[in-house]
Structure 1
Amino acid sequence: MKLKLLYIIALILGVMGCKSPEARRPVTQNSGSFINESIQRNKKLVAKEEAIILKMIQQDSTQDYIASSNGFWYYYNKKSTDSLNVEMPEYGDVVRFDYNIKALDGNYIYDVGEIPTKRYAMDRENLFGGLREGLKLMKEGETVTFIFPSHKAFGYYGDKDRIGTNIPIITEVTLHSITQEINTNKSDN
């Protein structure tokens, strides 16, 4: 009798052991509403900043603003008239430039003397997005004023010093030199 009982228990355990495991269901389920709300918040922020910038541009009749395809505006303070100087920085080129940063009201956040002259290898080093894209539009010797919405400047985090969260900026950039990348790994195929 005990032997039959052991066989039955072993048979039941064997059958139960062959059962495939069931997936556990999460305790809570997110519908993605946080991400959707964040997207809507960011769209509203961008629209608000762009409206402020466009109003500022409309009120300034002294400059000819150009809308960049990258989502910012700019005008030339000093444009290169040298027809031989047509080169703009490309990937890997080292540029040397000065710049300042102002709030949209025109007050300096960082003046030219506060930011040392920068040497930057194009697209190989960290630099805020708008300035990285703006440098690609410049020629050696030019001075350009850029107006960047916050998402093209320092964004949500700011610069962790003087520029706060979601602050659009104006920056005047002077490109002193472009040193072309010398690629010694090119082969003659």
Structure 2
Amino acid sequence: MKILILLLVILSVVRCKTPEARYPVSQNSGSYIDESVERNKEMIAKEEDYIKQVMGENTDTEYLSSADGFWYYYNNKSTDSTNTRTPEFGDMVVFDYSISTIEGETIYAEGDKPTREYSMDKEKLFTGLRQGLKLMKEGETVTFLFPSHKAFGYYGDKEKIGSNVPITAKVTLHEIKEESELETNN
């Protein structure tokens, strides 16, 4: 009987033990992420230096720098003093664009991509083009020089543009339809 009681006491003590946390076999310090960040910073700096070099070789063109990290120049700038409106969130814009390498080799020629209707910031569009459209007025044609992280980035466009390729995009903005106009027409 004493053995049975002793066995019950031992079993109850063993069963009441709280579970212990399991620890991973290996631990990472986050150094891979830090290395990746450094590689990306170096790549962006090299791309930007190269774009600046190309711009420096073309002294006839007046390049402007955007606050969003790309450069551009006007092929056709609006001189109409009444044409001051740029697209805002929700506006529908109608535009055409072509894409080439920074060196000028055509990737998508004018007409390769159909005229596009785009609802500002409500649809998918690569970052640089979305930000560039916000700088334009109706009737203007602007050429943008985008580092790869403002263009198609690591994945490319899965057709003609590869991984981490800086590009030039020539964009013509045909029309801006205000969001309020679109709501009254529907």
Same fold, TM-score > 0.5, yes or no: yes
Task: Write out aligned runs for 1:30-179 (5 A).
Answer: 30-179=28-177
Amino acid at match of 2:81: S
Amino acid at match of 1:53: I
SS of residue paired to 2:171:
strand
C-alpha distance in 1, partners of 2:93/2:172? 11
C-alpha distance in 1, partners of 2:15/2:183? 65
C-alpha distance in 2, partners of 1:80/1:6? 97
1:184: how far off? Answer: 5.7
Identity of aligned residues (%): 57
C-alpha distance in 2, partners of 1:64/1:9? 91
Work out the number of aligned pairs and report it: 183
SS of residue paired to 2:111:
helix
C-alpha distance in 2, partners of 1:84/1:4? 102
C-alpha distance in 2, partners of 1:8/1:132? 76
Give deviations 1:29-58, integer Å, cap 9, x for gaps. Answer: 111111111101101100110000011111
C-alpha distance in 1, partners of 2:177/2:6? 84
1:19: how far off? Answer: 2.0
C-alpha distance in 2, partners of 1:148/1:166? 11
Moved over 3 A (4+): none
Which consecutive residues of structure 2, in runs of 5 or more, have no partner in the other structure? none
What's 1:11 paired with? 9
Amino acid at match of 1:143: T
The TM-score normalised by the length of structure 2 is 0.95
Give deviations 1:110-153, integer Å, cap 9, x for gaps. Answer: 00110110000000000000000000000011000000000000
